[in-house]
Structure 1
Amino acid sequence: MTTVEAPARPRPRPVSTTPPTGPRVRQRQRPETFTVVSYAGVIAFAIVCIVPFWMVVAGSFTAESSLSQTGYSLWPDPFSLDAYTTIFAGSRVWLSYGATIFITVVGTVIAVIATSGIAWVIARGLPLVSRPLAVFAYIPMLFTGGLVPMYILITQVLQLRDSWFAVILPMAIAPFLVFVQVSFFRATPQEILDAARIDGAGELRIFFQVVLPLSKPVIAVIALFYAVAFWNEWFHALLFISEPAKYPLQLVLQNLITSVANAADLGTVSAAPVYQMRLAMTVITIGPILLAYPFAQRYFVKGLTLGATKG
């Protein structure tokens, strides 16, 4: 007689008491006091800068009657486009925009080329050339020849009266920016320049095809400085330009701010919204250069840091 054995029961698996392994939850660290104070300070400074600008924008859209009675406010009440309609009704603002764009673009190109060339010669340390040129660029940082000699030079010697180049040439070279670019050029690796010379490249080819492509950050910084300076320039235009059709935008704004009577030159009626037009002209004037800054911001910090600390 055969006996049938019962099937063996499976043994229960031991229960693991160790916690499951997985990505550890990173504990959030409390921010340092200095970080909190820094962020608070930056936010407060940003508010201090933004609020006045916003009040100018809001005032440019506020009716003239409300501005004359209650002054500035954070919101245009009542809303009005009278100032912008009055400003763009005539041709003066469009002509001044063209003049300012020409002065800014052409002046920035000339200034960047001149500054880069002088800075490269100074940075090269050439005998009998670099040191006298450095002294020549450094002297205007201490003092200038004066307003009368410059006026005689521009109007009688160069014959640039009523020319936009009378505004461009006096600002073509800024000594501070020259030495910023000199510091950047001196940080250029000498091995790259020696390799280019071994390949048969001349000095001009090295400068244009090797040095300038490596100097995009500092060139962007210098171009931004020059562009802002040319865009905001009105004093040289006041001295050397007498034709109203050639006035840059900043001079039109200056005339509008200093004299209420010049509001009629913008093209229109005698009862112009003067206070509102002043604010509107301010917005129109600073708008383009303010919108252009974010595109150059990444080069601005990098180029200014490298040009100021290396060398």
Structure 2
Amino acid sequence: MTTALTSSLAKTTARTATRRRRRPEAFTVVSVIGVTCFMLICLVPFWMIVSGSFTDEQTLATSGYSLIPRPFSTTSYELIFTGPTVLSAYTASIFITVVGTAMALAFTSGLSWVIARRLPYVSRPLAVFAYIPMLFTGGLVPLYLLVTQYLKLQNSYFAVILPLLVAPFLVFIQVSAFRQLPEEILDSARVDGAGEMQIFFRIGLPLSKPILAVIGLFYAVHYWNEWFTALLFMSDVHKYPLPLLLQNLISNVSFSQMLPTAAEQSTPVYQLRLALTVVTIGPILLAYPFAQRYFVKGITLGATKG
């Protein structure tokens, strides 16, 4: 009798515990609701931009934005992609972003590794060299004279790539990540006869994929959105990167609306601006999912003091 009662109580307790485990906690419910609301706050404005880019210009001017494009119109995209200008700008931006990100990762990783290893007579001067640009720069005029008069890089894609090649803030983030690598692994490699270059390429870089992905993403976004450096050193319209071209298109369209013939031309200003925004942020938005799994881990590695 006692055994049966004990077994019954045990089953009842197990069922109660199972129900409690299945019941979501209040914190979990609040977290899900909060994240969902934040997602909607971020997603709805972006979707309204996309919807507005497909909405007729007259409707945008009279009724404003809406979640559904009515009436549906692709006039702005037809204006953007008419002719080879936008395609050449896409090519220029892709070249600047890909080549610039690859070179920036190489230079930043090499500089960060030397600083992180605390090599005598080398690491401290390079750390000071990387730290000084965080405090002040030489100015715009010396930069312009250096690029145009001495390096002769005017109307070259490298005039945009080289001035942004090393970001001091990202250098010190990667230094912190390199200093968290296990010293035992590095010492064992030295015992086996590996040199500093072999340790860097075969151990340091493979173990630092998360921080490399994060820094590469930062550089890619910076190069893709860069327009001011291109404005300084680019005068050939066929070599304009996408952000500079789109800014010029918006300025020209806005200026044309002030002319007496603007009513006859009927250029879709609002719709064109929204379409240009979608065209600009589209490629870089698609790059985030590929680096997402490394992003949080890489930020955590770089944010911890080594």
Match of 2:184 in 1: 191
Match of 1:48 in 2: 41
Unaligned residue ranges in structure 1 (runs of 5+): 1-15, 264-268
Letter paired with 2:304: T
Letter paired with 1:117: G
Report % sequence identity.
Answer: 65
- By how many angstroms is 1:274 displaced? 2.5
CA contact (8 A) 2:156 2:234 kept: yes
Matched, 1:294 2:289: yes
- Secondary structure of 2:68's counterpart equals coil
Please show how residues 150-161 of structure 1 align to structure 2 within 5 Å: 150-161=143-154
Matched, 1:210 2:210: no
CA contact (8 A) 1:96 1:245 kept: yes
Matched, 1:88 2:81: yes
Provide the C-alpha distance between the structure 1 equivalents of 2:132 and 2:36, rounded to a whole number of angstroms: 40
CA contact (8 A) 1:122 1:134 kept: yes
Provide the C-alpha distance between the structure 2 equivalents of 1:262 and 1:241, rounded to a whole number of angstroms: 22
Please show how residues 96-107 of structure 1 align to structure 2 within 5 Å: 96-107=89-100
Letter paired with 1:94: L
- By how many angstroms is 1:44 displaced? 2.7
Provide the C-alpha distance between the structure 1 equivalents of 2:251 and 2:36, rounded to a whole number of angstroms: 34
Provide the C-alpha distance between the structure 1 equivalents of 2:275 and 2:10, rounded to a whole number of angstroms: 64
Match of 1:234 in 2: 227
Provide the C-alpha distance between the structure 2 equivalents of 1:117 and 1:185, rounded to a whole number of angstroms: 11
Q: Deviations over 1:244-297 (max 9, x none)?
A: 10011111121123331688xxxxx95442321211111011011111101111
Provide the C-alpha distance between the structure 1 equivalents of 2:145 and 2:136, rounded to a whole number of angstroms: 18
Provide the C-alpha distance between the structure 1 equivalents of 2:172 and 2:277, rounded to a whole number of angstroms: 33
CA contact (8 A) 1:86 1:272 kept: no
1:259 aligns with one of 247, 252, 273: 252
Unaligned residue ranges in structure 2 (runs of 5+): 257-263
Q: Deviations over 1:72-100 (max 9, x none)?
A: 11210101111112211211110000000
More helix by share: 2
CA contact (8 A) 2:116 2:123 kept: yes
Of stretches 127-136 and 273-282 in structure 1, the one that deviates more from structure 2 is 273-282
Provide the C-alpha distance between the structure 2 equivalents of 1:262 and 1:187, rounded to a whole number of angstroms: 54
- By how many angstroms is 1:36 displaced? 4.4
- Secondary structure of 1:27's counterpart equals helix
Highest CA radius of gyration, 1 or 2?
A: 1
CA contact (8 A) 2:253 2:267 kept: no
Of stretches 80-89 and 58-67 in structure 1, the one that deviates more from structure 2 is 80-89
Letter paired with 1:109: A
1:143 aligns with one of 118, 121, 136: 136
Match of 2:20 in 1: 28
Using structure 1 for the length normalisation, give the TM-score.
Answer: 0.87
CA contact (8 A) 2:55 2:72 kept: yes
Match of 1:4 in 2: none
Instruction: Report the CA distance shift for 1:142/1:31 in structure 2 as closer, same or farther (over 3 A).
Output: farther
- By how many angstroms is 1:27 displaced? 2.2
Q: Deviations over 1:17-38 (max 9, x none)?
A: 7549779331236655554444
Match of 1:200 in 2: 193
Letter paired with 1:112: L
What is the Cα-based RMSD across aligned positions, in Å? Answer: 2.3
- Secondary structure of 1:28's counterpart equals helix
Match of 2:260 in 1: none
Report how many residues are paired.
292
Provide the C-alpha distance between the structure 2 equivalents of 1:27 and 1:34, rounded to a whole number of angstroms: 17
Letter paired with 2:143: M
Using structure 2 for the length normalisation, give the TM-score.
Answer: 0.89
Match of 1:275 in 2: 270
